[in-house]
Amino acid sequence: MKTIKGPAIFLAQFMGTAAPFDTLDHLAGWAAGLGYEGIQLPTDPRLIDLALAAQSQTYADEIRGTVAQHGLAITELSTHLQGQLVAVHPAYDSLFDGFAAPEVRGKPAARTAWAIAQLKAAAQASQRLGLSAQVTFSGALAWPYLYPWPQRPAGLVEEAFGELARRWQPILDEFDHYGVDCCFELHPGEDLHDGITFERFLDGVNDHPRASILYDPSHFVLQQLDYLAFIDIYHTRIKAFHVKDAEFRPDGRQGVYGSYNGWAERAGRFRSLGDGQIDFVGIFSKLAQYDFPGWAVLEWECALKHPEDGAAEGVDFIRRHIIRVAERAFDDFAGSGVDAVQIKALLGTQEA
C-alpha cells in the first residue's frame, strides 16, 4: 500500500494582486509557511507561461526551482478554465468568454481551438515538470438539458457525448504521448459530473487509459451521491484528490437544486475542512486501501469562513487524516511458522 502525499493546496482561490498572493514565488512562500508540502498550480499567465513551459525545459526547471526553494513540490497543473472551453453550450457563450485569451473572445470556434491547444501544451508541460497527472474540467454541451422538460429529443444526449469525445480524443492521445493522466473533476455544470456520465464519456473515447478522475467528494454530497461507494467503483481511475468539505441540509422549502439562492443560503453548500459533513476518515481509509498514488490537495471553498483561516486550518486537518500505511500485517507477530508440508497435513491433502 502507498501513503498519500501531502498536505498540498490548490492556489486558484488564493491568487490576488497584493502580496503574498500576487506571484508564484510569494504564494509558494506563503503555503510553505503554513506547513504545506505541495501546491497545485493553476495555469494562469500570472503564475506560469504554459506555452513556454511546454517548449522549454529550462523554463520548466525554473518554475520547479521557484517552488522547490520553499521546500515544496508541484502536485499537478490545473487547466480547469481551458477545459471548460473545450465544449461550451451557446447559452453560456458570453459567460465563459472571459476565461479565454483576449484574441479569441467572441469567436467560439477559435476559442475551442485555443482551449484544445492549451490542454495539449499542459500535457507536455506536465511532463517537463516531472508530473504524472493534471486536473481539468470536461466542458459541457448537454448540461442545459439535464432535467428532461420539455422532453429531450431522441439522440440529443448521444450526440452531445459523441461530440465531447471527438474533441477530447486527440487531447487524451497527447497526454498519453507524454505519459500524463488527464484527471476530470466531476462537477455539476460539466457534462462529466458523476459516475454514469464519466462512463458515457469513457465509451466515447474507447476506454482511453489517460481519462482519469479528480476525486472531490464535496460535489457528490451536493448531488446526494454515495461518495465512499464511488471510490470502490472507480478507484482505478482516481489519480487526483481535492480535499474539500460540504454539507447538505434540506428543509421543507428547498433541496438539491438550491432555489437560485446564494451559496450561504443553499441547502447544499461548500464548507472549510472539518465544518461540513463529509466522512474524511472513510475517504482517506479507502484511498489508502486502494493505493491512491497522488496528493491530498486542499481546495478551499466556503460559504462562511475567511479563506486564510481555511488554509491555515486545512494543513493540520489533512495531515491528521493521511494514513501512514503499515509495512506488515498487524498480526504478523502471531505467525505459526507452519511450512508447506504441515499445511498439507492440516488439510489432509498430503499423498498417502
Model pLDDT, residue 340: 84
Using DSSP, state whether 181 is helix, strand or coil: strand
Domains of the chain, start order? 5-347 (3.20.20.150)
Residue 152 gets which letter from DSSP?
Answer: P
* Distance in angstroms between the alpha carbons of the first and the last residue of the chain: 41
Smallest Cα–Cα separation from 215: which of 188, 185, 247, 174? 185
Encode 283-300: b = buried (16+ Cβ within 10 Å), e = exposed.
bbebbbebebebbbbbbb
- The string of pLDDT tens digits covering residues 103-152 is 999 999 999 999 999 999 999 999 999 999 999 999 999 999 999 999 99
Binned at pLDDT 50, 70 and 90, residue 237 comes out as very high
**What distance in Å separates the CA atoms of residue 144 and residue 141, rounded to the nearest whole number?**
8
Peptide bond into 7 cis (omega under 30): yes
Residue 209 gets which letter from DSSP?
Answer: T
Binned at pLDDT 50, 70 and 90, residue 168 comes out as very high
C-alpha cell at 139: 466542458
- The string of pLDDT tens digits covering residues 279-299 is 999 999 999 999 999 999 999
**What distance in Å separates the CA atoms of residue 127 and residue 143, rounded to the nearest whole number?**
32
Helix (H) or strand (E) holding 61: helix 57-68
Residue 167 gets which letter from DSSP?
Answer: H
- The string of pLDDT tens digits covering residues 24-53 is 999 999 999 999 999 999 999 999 999 999
